[in-house]
């Protein structure tokens, strides 16, 4: 729509009407870029760059405007995230952007005797080791279909949702598979760190959370998946009792395996003998206090 000079004079602020006579007609720009505020996945506001391009049909008539949005982050930052991150994991994180109750298998893994190892290695070497461990463990979790949780010290937490895996049995199977994959990956981490395999011993605690509240926490500094529920604390207690590089799984987790998934893991839940945490010779004080009756078996 073309606005004549007199019409424009009526539209502008009275103090600017004299300037209208100095304006010269100009063709509209083919494209225009500007900054705006948009809404992110979890409802928070974020800066975005917008490119608006005029579209015309075959006869040169205006057909519309195409808008392209890009986060305000530089391309160097975006390429780093895209290159280092796993798109499968980003998709799973997006699925839990809004927290809710989600039945899940829980995996806790931690490096034994890490304090002694930290004293033995240089700070730079120990940092490199920790980075290799975290990357290897995260990849095993992602490949098994899980969600990586918080990293605390040398520990890894992961969640395997029934809704993502397809069933409770599939989630339990993925959790056990990930623990075994991490144990195998640690051998390679030791070799790359010029350490013997016996220098890196991981203990594992696997549990089932029937009513876990799982969701994503996103701040200006980080994005992570976390879960709340008694089973999270219980999983940590199971892991602390799994000294000697064992993988202990709760009865609640193992009995969710159907016959097909159990066979794929070379397990027979019907023949497993369980031991309450309090009766284990490796039971910690916290395990005896917080979860003495939880029955576990080795996987």
For residue range 243-265, list pLDDT tens digits in order: 999 999 999 999 999 999 999 99
pLDDT of residue 23 exceeding 70, the answer is yes
What average pLDDT does this structure show over 161-184? 97
Residue 1 pLDDT greater than 60, yes or no: no
Average pLDDT on 183-210 reads: 94
Percent of the chain with pLDDT over 90: 62
DSSP codes, 144-185? TT-EEEEEETTEEEEEEEHHHHSSHHHHHHHHHHHHHHHHHH
Give the mean model confidence (pLDDT) for residues 74-81.
67
The pLDDT of 148-169, averaged and rounded, is 93
At 223 the pLDDT is 82
Is it the case that residue 37 has pLDDT exceeding 80?
Answer: no
Indicate the pLDDT class of residue 290, thresholds 50, 70 and 90.
Answer: very high
Q: 194 pLDDT band (50/70/90 cuts)?
A: very high
Region 20-40 average pLDDT: 74
What pLDDT does 38 receive? 67
Residue 60: pLDDT band by 50, 70, 90 thresholds? confident
Output the average pLDDT for the chain. Answer: 88
pLDDT band at 202 (very low <50, low <70, confident <90, very high): very high
* CB atoms inside a 10 Å sphere around CB 56: 11
Query: Does the pLDDT value for residue 82 go beyond 80?
Result: no
Question: What integer is the mean pLDDT of 211-225?
Answer: 87
Q: Is the pLDDT of residue 232 over 70?
A: yes
The confidence score (pLDDT) of residue 244 equals 92
pLDDT of residue 45: 67
CA–CA gap between residue 70 and residue 283 (Å, rounded): 52
Query: What are the structural domains of the chain?
Result: 5-76 (no CATH), 86-298 (3.30.70.1230)
User: What angle do helix axes 123-143 and 168-192 make, rounded to 10 degrees?
Assistant: 150
pLDDT value for 298: 93
The four Cα atoms 152, 109, 181, 95 give a dihedral, to 10 degrees, of -60
Cα separation of 148 and 224, whole Å?
8
């Amino acid at each position: 729509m073309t606005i004549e000079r007199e019409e424009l004079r009526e539209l502008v602020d009275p103090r600017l009407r004299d300037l209208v006579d100095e304006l010269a007609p100009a063709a509209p720009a083919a494209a225009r870029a500007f900054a705006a505020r948009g809404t992110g996945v979890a409802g928070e506001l974020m800066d975005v760059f917008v490119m608006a391009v005029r579209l015309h049909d075959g006869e040169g008539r205006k057909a519309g405007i195409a808008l392209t949005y890009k986060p305000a982050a530089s391309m160097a930052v975006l390429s780093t995230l895209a290159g280092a991150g796993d798109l499968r994991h980003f998709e799973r994180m997006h699925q839990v952007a809004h927290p809710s109750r989600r039945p899940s298998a829980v995996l806790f893994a931690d490096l034994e005797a890490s304090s002694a190892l930290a004293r033995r290695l240089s700070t730079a070497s120990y940092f490199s080791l920790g980075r290799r461990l975290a990357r290897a463990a995260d990849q095993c979790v992602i490949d098994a279909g899980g969600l990586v949780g918080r990293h605390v010290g040398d520990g890894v937490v992961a969640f395997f949702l029934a809704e993502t895996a397809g069933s409770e049995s599939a989630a339990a199977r993925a959790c056990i598979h990930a623990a075994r994959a991490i144990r195998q990956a640690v051998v390679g981490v030791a070799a790359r760190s010029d350490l013997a395999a016996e220098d890196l011993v991981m203990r594992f605690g696997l549990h089932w959370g029937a009513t876990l509240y799982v969701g994503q926490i996103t701040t200006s500094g980080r994005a992570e998946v976390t879960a709340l529920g008694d089973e999270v604390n219980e999983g940590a207690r199971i892991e602390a009792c799994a000294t000697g590089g064992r993988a202990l799984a709760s009865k609640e987790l193992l009995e969710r395996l159907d016959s097909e998934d159990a066979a794929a893991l070379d397990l027979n839940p019907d023949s497993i003998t369980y031991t309450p945490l309090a009766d284990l010779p490796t039971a910690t004080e916290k395990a005896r206090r917080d979860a003495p009756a939880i029955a576990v078996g080795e996987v």
